[in-house]
C-alpha cells in the first residue's frame, strides 16, 4: 500500500507516471535500470535522496555506498538508485546529470547506468525497418517479425495526418533475436507500394547520430575546400603532387556520395574518414620539407613574422589543445604560410585559444577566410578575419 501511494504522490497528480501495472508494483519492470549517482552530500540519508528522485517516478530501492571502516559507517557521497521503470530513470538522468548541483557540493550530480546494467540496453535490441508497405499497421508488422523472438515494442512512424510513413521501430527482448531478424529480413522482399526491398537494421544510437552530424559537417567542409577559390592557389603544397590531391579528393567525394546514397553509410564513412585522415597524414609528413623547423621554432620563441598588408589573419576560437603546428597544418592548403602562432598564457602555459597566420600574399589569405571562417572543430566554430593593421597586435 505504501508503494502504491508513493506512485500516486511521485508527481502529485493522477498517477500518469505510475510505474508498471498495479499488481506488479513490488518489482521493477524487466527493462528498468540501476543507476549510479555521484556528487551527493555525505550527510544525506535515503529520505533526502528519495525526495530528490521521486519527482521522476516511483523509486524501488536506494543503496547509499558507505565506508564500513568508519564508526559509524560514513556515506561515500554516492549511491545506487533503481526506479520501477526505465523511463523514470532516464528522465531523472536527463534532468540531473551534469545539470543540478546539490547544496554544499562543488560539482553537479553524476548519474549513469551501473556497469552491470549496460549489457541489455534498448539501443542494442532496437531495429529500424524501412520500405514497409503503408497498408501495414503495428499488428501486421509485429506478426511479420514475431517468429524471431519476444517483441517488447512495435511502433509505426506516422506523419501529421496519422498515415504510415512506411517504416517502423521494433524492440526485441535480446540482441541475438534482433540480429537474427536482420539476417533473415533485410532485403528479403519488396512490399506493395515500395520502390526497393525492405531495409532492416539496428536503429541508430546516439553515437550514430553524432557520427552522421560530423559526416554532414565534413561534407560541407569538403565542398568548401573543393571550391575553385580554395584550391586555386597550391603554392604552399609543393610537396604534394597533383595526382595525390586528385586521388584524395576523388576518394572523399566518392565516399560522400555513397554515404548520402545509402543513409547510414557506415562503410562509406570509414572510407571517407580514411581518405581525409590519409591526406592529413601525408600533409603532416610533408611539413619538414615544405616549411623548415625554424619557422615553428621562431614562432615558439615569440617572434611573429608577417606577410604583406592584407595577408595576415587573426584566428579566434581555436581548440585549447591546438598548438602552432596544428594551426600551420590546417591553414597551409591555401597558400605559402610565412608564420603561424598560437598565443600562450605565460602564467598558466595554456593556449589563449587565438592566434595569427600570415601568408606571403593577400589572395591566399582571402581563400583561407572563405574556407575556414565558421569551420567547426568539436564544439568550437573558428572565426577567421584579416588583421586590421600593422599596429594592431592584439585581437581584443
pLDDT at 307: 85
Q: How far is CA 301 from CA 54, 110, 295, 305, in A?
A: 59, 42, 10, 11
Q: In what order do the strands lie in the sheet with 126-130?
A: 151-158, 164-172, 126-130, 199-202
Residue 22 has pLDDT above 70, yes or no: no
pLDDT at 39: 93
Which of the residue ranges 25-34, 64-73, 85-94 has the most confident prediction, judged by mean pLDDT?
85-94
Mean pLDDT of the chain: 75
Lowest mean pLDDT among 158-162, 299-303, 311-315: 299-303
pLDDT at 230: 42
Query: Rounded mean pLDDT of 269-276?
Result: 51
Range(s) within the chain of domains with CATH label 3.30.70.330: 33-113, 120-202, 312-386
Return the higher-pLDDT residue of 224 and 292. Answer: 224
- Closest by CA to 335, choosing from 373, 368, 371, 304, is 368
Percent of the chain with pLDDT over 70: 66
Domain 33-113 has CATH 2.60.40.10: no
Residue 300 has pLDDT above 60, yes or no: no
Which of the residue ranges 2-16, 180-194, 316-330 has the most confident prediction, judged by mean pLDDT?
180-194
Q: How far is CA 58 from CA 51, 115, 116, 323, in A?
A: 10, 22, 22, 51
Query: Rounded mean pLDDT of 73-81?
Result: 91
For 213-263, the pLDDT digits (tens) are 766 666 665 555 544 334 444 434 444 444 444 444 444 444 444 444 444
Percent of the chain with pLDDT over 90: 37
Query: Rounded mean pLDDT of 63-81?
Result: 88
pLDDT at 1: 39
Beta strand 126-130 with 164-172 is antiparallel
Q: Model confidence at 270, in pLDDT bands (50, 70, 90)?
A: low
pLDDT at 377: 78
Residue 144 has pLDDT above 60, yes or no: yes
Q: How far is CA 228 from CA 223, 253, 280, in A?
A: 10, 15, 20
Lowest mean pLDDT among 51-55, 157-161, 390-394: 390-394
What is 312-386's CATH superfamily? RRM (RNA recognition motif) domain (3.30.70.330)
Residue 86 has pLDDT above 50, yes or no: yes
Cα-atom radius of gyration of the chain, to the nearest Å?
Answer: 29
Residue 52 has pLDDT above 90, yes or no: yes
For 96-143, the pLDDT digits (tens) are 999 999 999 999 999 988 755 445 567 778 999 999 999 999 999 999
Lowest mean pLDDT among 151-165, 167-181, 218-232, 290-304: 290-304
What is 120-202's CATH superfamily? RRM (RNA recognition motif) domain (3.30.70.330)
Q: Model confidence at 292, in pLDDT bands (50, 70, 90)?
A: very low
Beta strand 376-377 with 151-158 is unpaired
Return the higher-pLDDT residue of 32 and 118. Answer: 32
Q: Which residues contact 72 (CB under 8 A, 6 or more apart)?
A: none
Residue 36 has pLDDT above 70, yes or no: yes
Query: Rounded mean pLDDT of 180-191?
Result: 94
Query: Rounded mean pLDDT of 153-180?
Result: 91
Which of the residue ranges 261-265, 333-337, 360-364 has the most confident prediction, judged by mean pLDDT?
360-364
Query: Rounded mean pLDDT of 275-288?
Result: 47
User: How many whole angstroms separate alpha carbon 342 and alpha carbon 354?
Assistant: 6
The whole-model pTM stands at 0.34
Amino acid at each position: 500500500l505504501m508503494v502504491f501511494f508513493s506512485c500516486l504522490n511521485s508527481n502529485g497528480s493522477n498517477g500518469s507516471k505510475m510505474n508498471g501495472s498495479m499488481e506488479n508494483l513490488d518489482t521493477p519492470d524487466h527493462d528498468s535500470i540501476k543507476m549510479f549517482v555521484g556528487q551527493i552530500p555525505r550527510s544525506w540519508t535515503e529520505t533526502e535522496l528519495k525526495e530528490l528522485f521521486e519527482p521522476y517516478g516511483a523509486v524501488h530501492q536506494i543503496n547509499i555506498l558507505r565506508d564500513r571502516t568508519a564508526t559509524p559507517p560514513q556515506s561515500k557521497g554516492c549511491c545506487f538508485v533503481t526506479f520501477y521503470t526505465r523511463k523514470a530513470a532516464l528522465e531523472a538522468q536527463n534532468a540531473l546529470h551534469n545539470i543540478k548541483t546539490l547544496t554544499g557540493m562543488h560539482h553537479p550530480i553524476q548519474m549513469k547506468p551501473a556497469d552491470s546494467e549496460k549489457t541489455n540496453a534498448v539501443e542494442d535490441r532496437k531495429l529500424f525497418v524501412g520500405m514497409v508497405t503503408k497498408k501495414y499497421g503495428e499488428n501486421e508488422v509485429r506478426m511479420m517479425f514475431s517468429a524471431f523472438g519476444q517483441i517488447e515494442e512495435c511502433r509505426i512512424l506516422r506523419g501529421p495526418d496519422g498515415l504510415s510513413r512506411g517504416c517502423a521501430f521494433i524492440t526485441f527482448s535480446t540482441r541475438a533475436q534482433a540480429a537474427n531478424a536482420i539476417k533473415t529480413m533485410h532485403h528479403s522482399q519488396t512490399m506493395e507500394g515500395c520502390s526497393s526491398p525492405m531495409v532492416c537494421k539496428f536503429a541508430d544510437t546516439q553515437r550514430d547520430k553524432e557520427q552522421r552530424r560530423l559526416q554532414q559537417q565534413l561534407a560541407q567542409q569538403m565542398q568548401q575546400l573543393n571550391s575553385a577559390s580554395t584550391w586555386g592557389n597550391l603554392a604552399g603544397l609543393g610537396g604534394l603532387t597533383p595526382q595525390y590531391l586528385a586521388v584524395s579528393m576523388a576518394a572523399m567525394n566518392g565516399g560522400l556520395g555513397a554515404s548520402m546514397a545509402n543513409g547510414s553509410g557506415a562503410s562509406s564513412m570509414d572510407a571517407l574518414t580514411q581518405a581525409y585522415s590519409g591526406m592529413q597524414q601525408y600533409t603532416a609528413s610533408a611539413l619538414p620539407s615544405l616549411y623548415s623547423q625554424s619557422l615553428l621554432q621562431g614562432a615558439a620563441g615569440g617572434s611573429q613574422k608577417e606577410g604583406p598588408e592584407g595577408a595576415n589573419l587573426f584566428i579566434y576560437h581555436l581548440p585549447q589543445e591546438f598548438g602552432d603546428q596544428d594551426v600551420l597544418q590546417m591553414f597551409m592548403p591555401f597558400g605559402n604560410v610565412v608564420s603561424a602562432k598560437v598565443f600562450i598564457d605565460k602564467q598558466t602555459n595554456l593556449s589563449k585559444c587565438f592566434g595569427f597566420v600570415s601568408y606571403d600574399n593577400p589572395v591566399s589569405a582571402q581563400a583561407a577566410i572563405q574556407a575556414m571562417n565558421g569551420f567547426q572543430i568539436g564544439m568550437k566554430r573558428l572565426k577567421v578575419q584579416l588583421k586590421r593593421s600593422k599596429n594592431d597586435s592584439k585581437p581584443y
